[in-house]
Amino acid sequence: MVPHLTTQLTGPLQELERIVLDRRPDIERWFRAQWSAHEVPFYCSVDLRNSGFKLAPVDTNLFPGGFNNLNPEFLPLCVHAAMSAIERLCHDARGVLLVPENHTRNLHYLQNVAVLKRILEGAGLTVRIGSLIPDLQGALEVTTSGGETLKLEPVERRGNRVGVAGFDPCAVLNNNDLSAGIPQLLQGIEQPVVPPLVAGWSTRRKSHHFHAYDRMAEEFAKLVGIDPWVVNPVFSQCGKVNFTQKDGEECLAANVEFVLGEVREKYAQYGITEPPFAIVKADAGTYGMGIMTVKSVDDVRNLNRRTRNKMSTIKEGQPVHEVIIQEGVYTFESVDGAVAEPVVYMMDPFVVGGFYRVHTDRGIDENLNAPGARYAPLAFETNCHTPDCTGKPGDPPNRFYTYGVVARLAMLAAAVEVEELVERASALEVRAANA
């Protein structure tokens, strides 16, 4: 059930796993306290990188689109988590409107929508799919990669409520990351929308997320007594970049130098001999677009036209002006010889599954979220019936528990981040009302 995985360097990570396993009661208690202070996201997926000496989140997605890649045998976990989330969301819920991305030709994405729908139905909800596709006239039937038929219906606004024809849902579950902006249709409606509209990529920034993660990682590291760097990638940001016009190159160079310098120091401290690298990403980017690996300041000076074009626009044709420069974390995991990174899925406060993103043509220092990636479901190994198995860090169940802890840490940061986005939005509304 567990894909064959190899890690070359296992020393320090095993130390982290040992600590995490030993402190499990304190960690779970800490998470319980955190979730009573912060509203847990409905769902969330986290891309992790495990370099053997470091295990860190590199991206946190509030509109996860890979439920179809989870091990189908674990869908009951999702169903339970959805039941629990729905009780929180609207106790009296019977109908939910699921709002997907607009692309109708990505059949794997449509299969993700079909699986999400099935999870919600498993939790006892009536689910209709409300599409934001512009000018959609009536229902559109599409076939997913799994051969299922989905009916996409145009979202209808009726006063302060939304629905689809003949259906007035109790809540809206958004699976559309709103890269193109917050649609008028969904603004100011009285039904709860999860995640909140401000969590979309028109207002969200990766750098904001990692600022929140800094604080969470700091607190967690203090709790279990580790160097926060072991779970936290160094990062910096540039606010005024224009790749096409070569604007902001100095800012980029200075921040790449800063990040590489910090990492160099840490590598020296831990005796790591690999060369440090950094990842430059669009601060509001998603779908693996607008990402490049840099190993020295020279890599961001004199960019060739092809790279500048690649970096200048992202999903929905949005131009890139803000970037995050993040410590690159090597992935020393591989599945069947190909480079791999774990992606962990959560719903309510629960880890409900995950998979390895595997790429045959990419290196251990590259972004794997790119065309050509494939997915190997990550099973939970739990049939651990011998007493000494509790004692071996590196065993799949223990390794996955540690993955779940770091992924939940990133989800917690996302919760704090969304809280702040919501607060900022209401402050702006108040200011606008007073103007």
3-state class (DSSP) for residue 105: coil
Question: Which CB atom, from 166 or from 387, has the smaller least distance to a second copy?
Answer: 387
Tell me the C-alpha distance between 134 and 136, whole Å. 6
Question: Which CB atom, from 382 or from 426, has the smaller least distance to a second copy?
Answer: 382
Tell me the C-alpha distance between 197 and 431, whole Å. 19
Count of H helices and E strands in the chain?
A: 8, 19
Contact between 312 and 342 (Cβ < 8 Å): no
Cα–Cα distances (Å) from 384 to 71, 387, 392, in that order, read 19, 8, 11
Question: Which CB atom, from 285 or from 349, has the smaller least distance to a second copy?
Answer: 349
Question: Which CB atom, from 91 or from 105, has the smaller least distance to a second copy?
Answer: 91
How near is the Cβ of 294 to a second copy at its closest, in Å?
39
| Residue environment code for 146-155, b if the CB has 16+ CB neighbours within 10 A, otherwise e | eeeebebbbb
Cα–Cα distances (Å) from 412 to 23, 41, 117, 287, in that order, read 19, 8, 25, 22
Contact between 174 and 99 (Cβ < 8 Å): yes
How near is the Cβ of 32 to a second copy at its closest, in Å?
6
Question: Which CB atom, from 11 or from 72, has the smaller least distance to a second copy?
Answer: 72
How near is the Cβ of 191 to a second copy at its closest, in Å?
17
How near is the Cβ of 70 to a second copy at its closest, in Å?
11
Question: Which CB atom, from 142 or from 422, has the smaller least distance to a second copy?
Answer: 142
Contact footprint for a second copy (CB under 8 A):
1, 24-29, 31-33, 36, 72-77, 79-81, 83-84, 86-87, 91-95, 118, 121-126, 146-149, 349-350, 380, 382-387
CB atoms within 10 A of CB 327: 23
DSSP secondary structure string, 241-267? Answer: -BTTTTBTHHHHHHHHHHHHHHHHHHH
Tell me the C-alpha distance between 124 and 116, whole Å. 13
Task: Match 């699976």 to its residue by tokens.
Answer: 175
Question: Which CB atom, from 26 or from 265, has the smaller least distance to a second copy?
Answer: 26
- Strand pairing of 126-131 and 149-154? parallel
Instruction: State residue 97 phi and psi, 5-degree precision.
Output: -100, 120
How near is the Cβ of 81 to a second copy at its closest, in Å?
7
How near is the Cβ of 161 to a second copy at its closest, in Å?
19
How near is the Cβ of 194 to a second copy at its closest, in Å?
17
Question: Which CB atom, from 186 or from 378, has the smaller least distance to a second copy?
Answer: 378
Contact between 112 and 71 (Cβ < 8 Å): no
How near is the Cβ of 52 to a second copy at its closest, in Å?
25
Question: Which CB atom, from 275 or from 397, has the smaller least distance to a second copy?
Answer: 397
Q: Kindly state the DSSP code that residue 378 receives in the 8-state scheme.
A: -
How near is the Cβ of 126 to a second copy at its closest, in Å?
5
